[in-house]
Amino acid sequence: MDPVIWLYLGFGLFVIVVMALDLGLAHRGPEIITTKRALTWTVLCVLMALAFVPAVYVIYDSHWLGMGLDGAVEATNTGFDAAAQFLQGWILEYSLSVDNLFVFALIFQFFAVPKQFQHRVLTWGIIATMLMRGVMILAGGVLILRFHWLLYVAGAFLVYTAVKML
């Protein structure tokens, strides 16, 4: 088995453990999250992501588990390149997630979700989204591999929806 698969499995396990800790220990009952607590967790998460940048650098620079080699003898991705790509991707995803805050606020307001239940609703929503996204990606990948012409149907649908939105 490819050694990199262990990195993916480890990351998946890490995400599951953190979500379980968040739901099971940190937020057992309904509570209102204060601004101070939210900012503290935000700073902690930002610091953890920034602390991961040197780890990415070391992993790729030392080619741990063949990272950065892509089957080649000489490196195709240096530690600096990998760390920069991770940081750029993280900043992009983080900035894109900020607009989701406004969407969540609107949804919670529309459905009148009490403040003490918002964290739990949001967490379960994220879990459901991750599961559904995984199912849709797998199903879409299988369908496209089997029926290549579906790419054109999907493309036409995207064009149609873009025109309707415009």
Token match 């299988």: residue?
142
Instruction: With CA atoms as reference, report the closest residue to 84 among 53, 126, 55.
Output: 53
Instruction: With CA atoms as reference, report the closest residue to 32 among 113, 107, 126.
Output: 113
Span 94-120, pLDDT tens digits? 888 888 888 888 999 999 999 888 888
Q: 7: how many CB neighbours lie within 10 A of its CB? A: 14
pTM: 0.62
CB 44 within 8 A of CB 38: no
Burial of 158 (0-12, 13-18, 19+ CB in 10 A): exposed
pLDDT, average across residues 34-48: 90
CB 96 within 8 A of CB 35: no
Span 78-89, pLDDT tens digits? 889 999 999 999
Q: Which residue has the higher pLDDT, 31 or 137?
A: 137
